Amino acid sequence: MEKGRVLLLSAGAMFVLAVVSILSLEAQGVGGAQANAATRTDMVTIDAMKAFGKLELPPVTFLHDKHTLALKTGEKDCKACHVEKDGQIVAKFGREKDISKTQVKDVYHAKCIGCHTDMTNKGLKTGPQDGACRSCHDAKPKVSSAKLEAGLNNALHFRHSSTKELPSTLKDEATGELRKDNCDRCHHEYNKDTKKTFYAKGKEGACRACHEAKATKDARSMSQAAHDSCVNCHRTLALKGVKETGPTACAGCHSAEAQAKTAAKNKEVVTKAGDDVRLIRKTGQPDLTLVSIEKPAEGAKPQAMSPVAFNHKLHEKSVDTCRACHHKETVACSKCHTVQGSKEGGYVQLEQAMHRASAKQSCVGCHDQSKAEPRCAGCHGQLKSRTKPPQSECKKCHIQGALKIPAEPGQMPAYWAMKPEEKAAAATELLKNRADKADIFTTDDIPEKVTIKSMVNEFEASEMPHRKIVLKLAENIKNSKMSGVFHADPGTLCQACHHNGVAGTKKPPKCSNCHGKPFDDKQPNRPGLKAAYHGQCMGCHKAMDLKKPLSTDCVGCHKEKKK
């Protein structure tokens, strides 16, 4: 009896050990598979049943380009999986719209499994068969998505609007010939009564103004709208025999390699087009304009600050998309961001919308992003941010000028009453005398070398190639219009290191004038001379990502002392 009990306990222990071992191996296998998971740009998660409630099984991981290639090999195309309506492929799989839970489920099972079965009968390698549910509905797929977000930036928009392969479908009312601009090929308005789209000249706006991340009652999601319109157009052009068309495969838009090629082509086309070409042609939008307040509310205090002369043409080439400044709609900032603040603008006042440093879409916020680039960060990373810059800095944008603008009694000049062409003319006049090229002192006025002897007890004196550094900093910003405006004074570059210097002064104060040796504990916010040198120099090298000398390479600057 005792012997039987021992055997039973031993068997139980062995069973538990076996189960634990199996679970451990399974866990290791899953972990290993996840750790070594393949990354794909064509990974699509099929979870259409979510629209009808909680999923009964995990969503399906579908590799779109892999299937497209397989169909192409079998001389089939998109219509093998998608419905065609009015010559266009419907993005939904095997249906125009979702009718019921049963319908959606049956469509996927019938077409997917049916295709796999058909290929098996032909002796071809294929996917899971009927009954292998978990082969598709896998909670822990062995691939992960490497899909990058794709979009239509200003340069790519220009390539579409200027191509001869996409002529307008509308005729000019005056000549009866096809219109020169082809905006109607993509831009449309939605008529809620007819539930159809139509082209409205002059109202072309950003796609995301209507098509949001998720579908709404009146508009498809941005993703679906883009795939419906863009992929279908590319496919149609390819079927017509056009050699250079946009991509129809996922990797063509969403892979890093494809995006790099597109960026290179964009740059080539824009450079070839020249400086005088507008990338975005919007009706009534001048190259230059005035950014000014709207008419103040009754009884509101007048605003004294001058308007800003804004070069719209220049800015659209300096940013990727209109959304870099605008939000959903491409309308004047002051329409939503009023002087007092409005509900439409989230109660963000116009002054805040333009100057808030933490907002990427504000003027100051966008400029700060540029200053964070390595070529600029070496200097700007060292400078203290000023909440109240001097008036001289404000006037770099708010240009003072004698504009003959009529004024209402007791109010500032009525800029709001000006027509677009009048604002353009006024901006042109104001910008005539504004410097737009960075300047530095003459070479002879820039010391060639500076010898630093503050650590001669430990190292040889450090010899800094002062002139070489200044000239390199000037080289970094010579092609930047923005830098030109803010670095027009020849002493501006000097202030990065000589931060207590005065712009325009050829001989700024030495570091030792303010930073004592040793550290003065009565001035805790002011580092000692050694700390000041290392903080300034090493901080700059790190911010600019300089490889030689590294910020940690002591002997790269200080030669070892001779014994």
pLDDT digits (tens, 9 = 90+) for 239-285: 999 988 999 999 999 999 999 999 999 999 999 998 888 898 777 77
Give the model confidence (pLDDT) of 473-502 as tens digits: 999 998 888 999 999 888 888 888 888 777
- Give the CATH number for residue 58: 3.90.10.10
| In the predicted structure, residue 560 carries a pLDDT above the cut 80 | yes
Give the model confidence (pLDDT) of 61-84 as tens digits: 999 999 999 888 777 889 999 999
Give the model confidence (pLDDT) of 450-461 as tens digits: 998 877 888 888
0.85 cut: is pTM over it? no
Tell me the pLDDT of the chain averaged across its residues: 85
Shared-domain flag, residues 320 and 423 = yes
Contact predicate 347/341, CB 8 Å: yes
Number of domains composing the chain: 4
Give the model confidence (pLDDT) of 156-213 as tens digits: 999 999 999 999 999 988 898 999 899 999 999 999 899 889 999 888 888 988 999 9
Percentage above 90 pLDDT, the chain: 42
d(CA 379, CA 469): 12
Give the model confidence (pLDDT) of 17-57 as tens digits: 333 333 333 333 333 333 445 899 999 999 999 989 999 99
309 contact partners, CB below 8 Å, separation of at least 6:
288, 289, 290, 399, 426, 427, 430, 431, 434
Shared-domain flag, residues 342 and 363 = yes
Tokens describing residue 350? 């116009």
292 in any annotated domain:
yes
7 in any annotated domain:
no
209 contact partners, CB below 8 Å, separation of at least 6:
328, 329, 330
pLDDT for the residue 1:
44
Tokens describing residue 22? 């199996």
258 in any annotated domain:
yes
pLDDT for the residue 374:
92
Among 92, 121, 145, where does a domain finish?
Answer: 145
235 contact partners, CB below 8 Å, separation of at least 6:
78, 89, 248
Shared-domain flag, residues 162 and 223 = yes
| In the predicted structure, residue 420 carries a pLDDT above the cut 80 | yes
If you write DSSP's letter for every residue of 257-310 in order, what string do you get? Answer: HHHHHHHHHHHHHHHHH-TT--SS--TT--SEEEE-PPPPPTTPPPP-SPPEEE
Tokens describing residue 406? 């009529």
Shared-domain flag, residues 254 and 125 = no
Return the half-sphere exposure (C-beta side, CA atoms, 13 A cut-off) of residue 75.
0
pLDDT for the residue 469:
92
Looking up tokens 């450090």, which residue turns up? 462
Mean local confidence (pLDDT), 110-115? 94
Shared-domain flag, residues 240 and 330 = no
User: In the 8-state DSSP scheme, what is residue 113?
Assistant: I
85 contact partners, CB below 8 Å, separation of at least 6:
96
pLDDT for the residue 21:
39
- In this structure, the chain runs to a length of 563
Contact predicate 60/40, CB 8 Å: no
Shared-domain flag, residues 92 and 159 = no
Contact predicate 309/430, CB 8 Å: yes
pLDDT for the residue 24:
38
Tokens describing residue 384? 């203290």
Among 124, 145, 166, where does a domain finish?
Answer: 145
Give the domain range for residue 464.
443-557
Give the model confidence (pLDDT) of 515-540 as tens digits: 887 778 888 888 888 888 888 899 89
Nearest CA to 227 among 188, 253, 196, 195?
Answer: 253
176 contact partners, CB below 8 Å, separation of at least 6:
none
Shared-domain flag, residues 424 and 320 = yes
Buried b (16+ CB within 10 A) or exposed e, 262-296: beeebeebbeeeeeeebbbebeebbebbbbbbeeb
User: Which residues are paired to 39 by β-bridges?
Assistant: 144
Query: Sorting pLDDT into bands at 50, 70 and 90, what band is 13?
Result: very low
Shared-domain flag, residues 133 and 173 = no
Mean local confidence (pLDDT), 422-428? 91
d(CA 197, CA 219): 10
Is 183 or 301 the better-scoring residue by pLDDT? 183
Percentage above 70 pLDDT, the chain: 90
Query: Dihedral of the CA atoms 17, 20, 24, 27 (nearest 10)?
Result: 160
pLDDT for the residue 386:
59
pLDDT for the residue 37:
52
10 in any annotated domain:
no
Q: Give the other-Cβ count within 10 Å of 172's Cβ.
A: 12
Give the pairing type, strands 288-291 and 308-311.
Answer: antiparallel
If you write DSSP's letter for every residue of 479-516 in order, what string do you get? Answer: T-HHHHHHT-STTTGGGGTSTT--TT-SSPPPGGGTS-
Distance of CA 287 to the CA centre of its chain: 23
- Phi and psi dihedrals of 143, rounded to 5? -125, 155
Shared-domain flag, residues 472 and 422 = no
Shared-domain flag, residues 419 and 501 = no
Contact predicate 324/204, CB 8 Å: no
3-state SS of 354-370 is HHCCCCCCCHHHHHHHH
290 contact partners, CB below 8 Å, separation of at least 6:
307, 308, 309, 310, 415, 418, 423, 426, 427
Element (H, E) at 467: helix 466-477
Shared-domain flag, residues 309 and 429 = yes
Shared-domain flag, residues 346 and 467 = no
pLDDT for the residue 427:
92
249 in any annotated domain:
yes
185 in any annotated domain:
yes
Mean local confidence (pLDDT), 378-403? 78
159 in any annotated domain:
yes
Give the pairing type, strands 450-452 and 462-464.
Answer: antiparallel
Q: Give the other-Cβ count within 10 Å of 254's Cβ.
A: 21
Contact predicate 130/113, CB 8 Å: yes
47 in any annotated domain:
yes
d(CA 506, CA 440): 10
Could you give the angle at the alpha carbon of 201 between the alpha carbons of 164 and 361, nearest 5°?
90
